Structure 1
Amino acid sequence: MVMPYTAIQFTILHKLKTFAAGPSKAGCAATVGSFPFDLVRTILASQGEPKVHSKMRSVFAYIIKDRGFRGLYAGLSPTLVEIIPYAGLQFDTFKRGCMAWNS
């Protein structure tokens, strides 16, 4: 989960930097891109015994069949509200750390 989120976040930040998008927007884009994977991981981790789903593919198929494509993004809004300040602080702290290290 961390690797796709971080990869998307840094890619979006780099691409949108010329448009002055800022770290919060990159964090939001990374969240939107990685959210279905986090949802699937949560479903796999929280299922009881006997296991209903054994693979990620099974969970994706179930969600899309049961709730449609939008079901992959159930609960996204509260997550975005949470990520906006977090992403801004994360990049600000990272930037200050890099500046201190380079000086």
Structure 2
Amino acid sequence: MVEFNSVQVSGRLMSLGDLHASPAGVVHRDIILEHRSLQKDQDGSREIRFSLRVRLAGHELNASLSGVQTGERLQVTGYLGRNNHRDEQVVLHARTIDRMNQEQ
């Protein structure tokens, strides 16, 4: 059986963490994304609001946020995983991150 783990979410950048290097030398940082949307389900429409920790690993992905400002809209694709081997908190591990036009 194949399990699927793929997420695409957009929202506003609320917090931009500092760059850190892992013991293996991989640079990473965490950001907090605030999502708001209107979703349709069987009972009608629901307003969805949440904050999500997003982990960016690697120079290229982190460089894509050069000059980004809090409040800016971003779209992230990636997969869900644990925060670390001791903490089961779920974080979104980014594969791609794109800045969105403010009008979208």
Q: Is this a same-fold pair by TM over 0.5?
A: no
TM-score calculated relative to the size of structure 1: 0.25
User: Greater share of strand residues, 1 or 2?
Assistant: 2
Q: If you compute each CA radius of gyration, which structure gives the higher value, 1 or 2?
A: 1
